Amino acid sequence: MTVTTSSGSKLVRIGTRKSNLAMVQTHWVRDELQKHFPDHQFEIQAMSTQGDKILDVALSKIGDKGLFTKELELGLLNEDVDLAVHSLKDLPTQLPENLMLGCVTSRENPADALVLNEKNQGYTIETLPEGAIVGTSSLRRLAQLRYHFPYLEFKDVRGNLNTRLKKLDAGDYDALVLAVAGLERLGMADRVSQCIPGDISLHAVGQGALGIECREGDQRILDLLKAIEDDKTRDRTLAERSFLRELEGGCQVPIGVNSWIEGDQLTLKGMVASLDGKQLLKDTVSSDRANYDNIGKELAQKVRDQGAQAILDEIFAQIDR
């Protein structure tokens, strides 16, 4: 139901996943919007996505992009909600027809965290001993950590953050690698044993930022979203997404990035690795930040020239698509 007044509707319906992290992020977006637009009414509608329901299969094996976003997008297209709040890294680089990325909010620390259980306190990713069991569900983390620390053991881990931490504390793993941002947002920054250096684990595209999706050309919503956009995060993450869009082939792939802005210069560093961690390529492109899209494309071409396509083709052939 949309309430329409002479100045247009003041009711805005916000779609979100139901997970703790999604709810914390969505409450933040709602509160920010409410501060900027006190005469509007913001309503939250929480939904379960495929990714929340299928918990016993490795993410890389489900192989479907949009696992955490599809139900929210249907809500947008059916006009049940007016905007959808996502962790930007879960939002596919190709959006469905008639939907768009309305804004990107300011980024938390985009790094990966090493999280240890009680008996391993004091270790870092560099000092964990041979055979230590490290839990991760991300091919990107797996490939980079195998490359740098081939003597560690890696084991898949699924479930929401609390479930994963319980498994760690029960001793199923010696350590987990998780996003710093997620732990911080959930008030669990004290569980970050180490921020893994950015040159060891290049982070996921969009990691640490929120992406808000809306219907294409919905000017009422786009005007509201402008108030909470962070333009530096937007340019950085749009460059990152352009890089990923150029290289990915329809499944989770070991691609990582770092990005930063100095003056008007945006620098994007990208990494493509093989699953076994034996091959790992990196390259960097800098240009005026307004060229974010070309920065991503140019970087994709540079890593292709280094041999990234062969690595990716092998991965696409291995993963059942």
Ligand X SMILES: NCc1[nH]cc(CCC(=O)O)c1CC(=O)O
Is the Cβ of residue 210 or residue 285 nearer to ligand X in the bound state? 210
Among residues 13, 17, 89, 282, the one that binds ligand X under rule CB under 6 A: 89
Per the structure block, which two tokens stand in for 202?
């290049």
Stretch that binds ligand X, among 33-41, 87-95, 287-295, 309-317 (CB under 6 A): 87-95
Tell me how far apart the alpha carbons of residues 268 and 245 are, in angstroms, rounded to a whole number.
Answer: 14
Query: Residues 82, 90, 235, 283: which is the catalytic one?
Result: 90
Cβ-contact 82, 224 below 8 angstroms: no
Whether 90 is a known active-site residue: answer yes
Tell me how far apart the alpha carbons of residues 231 and 218 are, in angstroms, rounded to a whole number.
Answer: 20
Q: How far is the CB of 45 from ligand X (least distance, A)?
A: 20
Per the structure block, which two tokens stand in for 196?
């893994």
Per-residue contact flags (x/-) with ligand X for residues 167 to 206, judged by CB under 6 A: -----------xx-xx------------------------
Among residues 60, 144, 193, 207, the one that binds ligand X under rule CB under 6 A: 207
**Nearest position to ligand X, beta carbon:** 182
Please name which of 310, 55, 59, 262 lies closest in space to residue 162, comparing C-alpha atoms: 55
Interface of this chain with ligand X, residues 268 to 307, rule: CB under 6 A: none
Establish if 257 lies at the interface with ligand X (CB under 6 A). Answer: no
> First and final CA of the chain: distance in angstroms?
39
How many residues are present in the chain? Answer: 321
Cβ-contact 142, 315 below 8 angstroms: no
Among residues 60, 69, 87, 201, the one that binds ligand X under rule CB under 6 A: 87
CA dihedral over 227, 24, 201, 53, signed as positive or negative: negative
Please name which of 297, 211, 281 lies closest in space to residue 247, comparing C-alpha atoms: 297
Establish if 26 lies at the interface with ligand X (CB under 6 A). Answer: no
Q: How far is the CB of 208 from ligand X (least distance, A)?
A: 5
Residues in touch with ligand X (CB under 6 A): 87, 89-90, 178-179, 181-182, 207-208
